[in-house]
Structure 1
Amino acid sequence: MTAQSPAPRIPTGPRGLPLIGVVRDVRKDVLGWLMRTAAEHGPVAQYRFGPMRAYLVTHPEGLKHVLQDHTKNYTKDHFSYSLVRRVVGDGLIVSQGETWLKQRRLAQPAFHRARISAMAEQMVRATVELAERWGGSQRAGTPRLVVPDMMALTLRIVGEALLGTDVRAQTEAVSAAFNVISEQSVERFRALWLLPPVLPTAYDRAFRRARRELNKVVAGLVAARRQRMEDRGDLLSMFMLARDEETGEQMDDAHLQDEVMTMMIAGHETTATALSWTWALLEQNPDAERKLHEELDSVLGVRLPTAEDVPRLVYTRRVLDETLRLYPPAYVLSRKVMEDDTVCGYQVRGGSAVDISPYVTQRLPEFWPDPERFDPDRFTPEKIAARPKYAYFPFLGGPRQCIGNNFALMEGTLILATLAQRFRPRRVDRAMPRPEPLITLRPAGDLPVMINAR
């Protein structure tokens, strides 16, 4: 006789209120609620979010189960992705099955390390232009707004490097439209307001205007490139010139626009958010800032960084890694459970939802001693090897790991190195900004700083 596996345990969790479950708590303070739930109920917690049963999975072994080993049982059929589809259509982030696999295969060559390295010069050149504006502000004694500056810079880099297009003229329109969509999408999700924005209210009209503005920008980019169907070696070229292996058909404009929208928004918002947090954290942690400057002086001197310097900028990369640990742009995500399963010894019902939160897991004291402290030296090779893989997953993991993770990390390293060579931004009010959990985990406000020369 073979021993039977023990029956899975039933997870505990916050009770919430009748009908709405934990909706009120999530709307009031989603980050605090996530942290309390994990601390009080362990690696798998169960609760009701409106009519839906949901589980918060926070232990690295459970995350490996969901994101890597049994990924087909945890799909993006969750209703939160219906809100995302209203903006990006069926782009790479939200597509599934064969459609996603085909898109991923088409996009993968654009993110090969050699091709990304070739984009380094564009990244540094764009950053130098921002550095010149920062220098002008420093000499004039006028503040800069870090969040808009990082957003404009990373949008330009995504436009040039991945889309082969100069999008600087569209920066303000894209940023304003995305801000409306980001705020409303989160508000609608947390209020369980899942109807499409079709009502004649000011609120719904604002969403529709923002979506039209983004669609107008993207349609213009695709139309301009259609006029010159040449291979520029960028991601948009790959999508435009690709042909279906069976039918020989090329991607139509609607599908192309979905992919461009996905890359334009996801490719700039997350990196800009991480860099914005980095400047705030460095100011609050002078020892880390000093070590960063020492490395930049040692490796670069006064010259600009290149792709070849990135592997040598070890501490610079650790600064980014530690920022992404504390303030991961994708701070919580959801999946739909297709069939009953057992995660970390706990029962998970089919038809329910699983929530995962890098923000929570990357603060678990059992893996991160003194978790609120900013310490880039957590990311030495020895310390990385001593932790479970999914104790740190700002880019998720498994087959749906962010395709642009290496692009984002090289971009962030080069931007940080180029600007920190010259400047020490200091917040006008000197206080650490509070997190603002929208679609990404932004610092609240525009982060006004005075630019000090090093």
Structure 2
Amino acid sequence: MTQDVFDLPSPPANSIVGHLLDLGQDPLAFLTACRDYGDIVPLRLGLTPVCVVTNPDYIEAVLKDRENFIKSRGFRVLKTLLGEGLLTAEGDTWFHQRRLAQPVFHQKRISGYGEIMVEYTNRMLQNWQDGEVHDIHADMMRLTLEIVMKCIFNTDVNAGEAKVVADALDITMHWFESKRRQNFLVWEWFPRPENVRYRQAIAEMDAAIYQLINERRKNNTETHDLLFMLMNAEDEETHERMNDKQLRDEVATLMLAGHETTANTLSWTWMLLSQHPEVREKLQAELEQVLQGKLPTVEDLRRLTYTQQIIKESMRLYPPVSLLGREVAHDTKIGEYEVPQGTTMMISQWVMHRHPKYFEQPEAFQPERWTEELEKQLPRGVYIPFGDGPRICIGKGFAQMEAALLLATIAQKFQIDVVPGFSIVPQPSITLRPEYGIKVTLQQIAQQLSSPEPEKQVLPQ
């Protein structure tokens, strides 16, 4: 016998706005508290019916079914920025784009970008000085943007173009967060100052992207970067290729997803390592044993076990995306519950990754927990830093490789300590970023073995 999902227990609500104020004031704490009410918790955000899902089987069911559960209204707002890219497209459009893009992100292909990641990181470190105070989040954002633009365009994008893209993405994050707090009640086309800045930033970013695409079309040279592979990706059935608009949408998506999430993961990792010196010491021991002062390579990753455990544990406590939503496209069932069309299903990685039912001492930073046994025991739908189902992040392999290589490269040369008393506030926007950055002090690590300056790398042919 089925039951109406909105008959289930839920937190106390305001008679006018429902749970909107609670969610807006502290979304992570509120969603965590919802976990105590059951596997599915009905909420009301203004006029929007919502269900928070905390049962991993139900989460898996929602993420597997892309026909009945489409991207939520909040994410659809991103179409202004990302168009019909893989993150926002639905239905046949998404399926067509995914089929074209999938071979581009084959592990063997993306492994070739490891040299670029290490080279650009080492280049950044040449400008770091012992004792300097940095915003490590800003540094990671700058570095990962340079890397992803090099991997997309196979060129050192000039400072002006990089700044245009960086500003557009930063404005987008702040715009999206302000709209989330208003439950997207203020339309983006309304001529408020923040809406004007948002649309102007996108226009400037579009101009930079289209210029790079046009230059590539004119030169028609074989470069084997991501743009070249996307331009030449051909549908096996229709033999169609992406037009300039489709390329622009995928490039914008890659720039957002390809640098923001890794930068945030590394920023939280530096914070956690600063708070846990015993973990940092164990990391240093592994790097010294495996690398012996050399710069890391993709081939080294299989032996950098603890390094990768640190990344997994960092993404558990501070997932790249803390909340995702799916809208019910048709009346449907989840388990034994009837869920009406138009309901938003909320799935919080923050909540699931810290669930005491699945993780011992869930608030503790313990990289050692990531054994093969744990990963086999965890139900699908519990640890989902890259999502799951057919829409799992296509750049998962790229991001995991980049985070581990950058961590190993930097941690060999510098100890990074958070400035005492600096307030670090997680901001659950499109991604989970530190709202005010993370101020740190750099300490150069002494007695490291010298390694030769790497030759300038080129993309694999």
| TM tier, smaller | over 0.9
- Match for residue 61 of structure 2 among 61, 65, 89: 65
- Offset of residue 92 of structure 1: 1.0
Deviation per residue, 1:59-103 (Å, 9 max, x gap) = 2111111112x3421112x21123110111111111112211121
Quote the offset at 1:149 in angstroms: 0.9
Distance 1:120 1:6, change over 3 A: same
Deviation at 1:107, TM superposition (A): 1.3
Please point out which of 116, 133, 143 is paired with 1:153. 143
Match of 1:92 in 2: 86
Report the more deviating stretch, 308-317 or 21-30.
Answer: 21-30
The structural deviation recorded for 1:275 is 0.4
* 1:119-130 alignment, distance < 5 Å: 119-130=113-124
Instruction: In structure 2, give the amino acid aligned to 1:14.
Output: P
Give the alignment partner of residue 34 of structure 1, picking from 23, 31, 38: 31
Residue 345 of structure 1 and its aligned partner are, at CA, apart by: 3.5
Runs of 5+ consecutive residues of structure 1 not aligned to the other structure? none
Bigger drift between 189-198 and 298-307 goes to 189-198
- In structure 1, the residue corresponding to 2:77 is in which secondary structure? helix
Partner letter of residue 433 of structure 1? Answer: I
- The residue that corresponds to 1:183 in the other structure is 174
1:234 alignment partner in structure 2: 225
Selected match of 2:277 from 280, 286, 290: 286
> Which residue does 2:352 correspond to in 1?
361
TM-score by length of 1: 0.92
The match for 2:458 is: none
Displacement of 1:364:
0.7
Decide which moves more: 223-232 or 277-286: 223-232
Aligned partner of 1:128: which letter?
Answer: N
Take 1:246 and 1:309, find their aligned partners in 2: how far apart are those partners?
Answer: 39
- Secondary structure, in 3 states, of the residue corresponding to 2:78? helix
Identical-residue share of aligned pairs (%): 38
* 1:388 counterpart residue number: 379
Q: Report the counterpart of residue 82 of structure 1 in structure 2.
A: 76
Question: CA shift at 1:301, angstroms?
Answer: 0.8
Distance 1:200 1:60, change over 3 A: closer
One-letter amino acid of the structure 2 residue matched with residue 422 of structure 1: K
- Separation in 1 of the partners of 2:354 and 2:191? 43
* Structure 2 CA distance for partners of 1:88 and 1:194, relative to 1, 3 Å: farther
**What is the letter of the counterpart of residue 84 of structure 1?**
L
How well do the aligned residues superpose, as a CA RMSD in angstroms? Answer: 1.9
Contact 1:15 1:47 survives alignment (8 Å): no
Q: 1:451, 1:222 → 2: CA distance?
A: 39
- How far apart, in 2, do the equivalents of 1:231 and 1:44 lie? 51
Structure 2 unaligned regions, length at least 5: 446-461
For the residue of structure 2 that corresponds to 1:335, the secondary structure is: strand
Give matches, 1:11-50, under 5 Å. Answer: 11-39=8-36, 41-50=37-46
CA distance in 2, matches of 1:122, 1:193: 39
Q: Residues of 2 paired with 1:301 and 1:86: CA distance?
A: 48
Task: Give the direction of change, closer, same or farther, for the CA distance of 1:446–1:6 in structure 2 (3 Å limit).
Answer: closer
The separation in 2 between residues aligned to 1:201 and 1:398, in whole angstroms, is: 38
Give 1:198 shift.
3.1
Take 1:427 and 1:109, find their aligned partners in 2: how far apart are those partners?
Answer: 40
Tell me the secondary structure at the aligned position of residue 251 of structure 2. Answer: helix
Give SS of 1:119's match: helix
- Contact map agreement 2:101 2:233 (CA 8 A) in 1: no
| Superposition map of 1:203-242 within 5 A | 203-242=194-233
SS at match of 2:433: strand
Residue 200 to residue 101, structure 1, CA distance change in 2 (3 Å): closer
